[in-house]
């Protein structure tokens, strides 16, 4: 085996090793489905989707302004 082929082989092995190491590191850094942060984020997304649905309904309804005022007041109340 000549020196040039050996250098190319070593570079290829090192490159593949680095790629595999980065893949493993990326996979380990992803949160599991039951991780507390993942659960909290899913709950936050669900809450935000509900709020967006309410806002879409408020914006698209064309009834009187009294109903709109009541809906806005209800949304501002943190006890709901």
Alpha-carbon distance 25 to 29, whole Å?
A: 6
Alpha-carbon distance 56 to 21, whole Å?
A: 46
- In the chain, where the domains are located: 1-30, 32-80
Please list, in sequence order, all residues whose beta carbon lies within 8 angstroms of the beta carbon of residue 38, skipping any fewer than 6 positions away. Answer: 31, 32
Radius of gyration of the chain (CA): 28
Give this prediction's pTM: 0.41
- What string of pLDDT tens digits covers the 80 residues of the chain? 788 889 999 999 999 999 999 988 877 776 667 778 888 999 999 999 999 888 877 777 666 667 777 778 888 876 65
């Amino acid at each position: 085996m000549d020196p040039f082929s050996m250098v190319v082989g070593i570079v290829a092995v090192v490159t593949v090793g680095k790629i595999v190491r980065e893949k493993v590191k990326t996979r380990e850094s992803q949160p599991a489905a039951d991780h507390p942060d993942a659960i909290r984020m899913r709950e936050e997304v669900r809450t935000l989707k509900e709020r967006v649905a309410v806002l879409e309904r408020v914006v698209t309804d064309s009834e009187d302004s009294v109903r709109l005022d009541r809906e806005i007041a209800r949304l501002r109340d943190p006890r709901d």
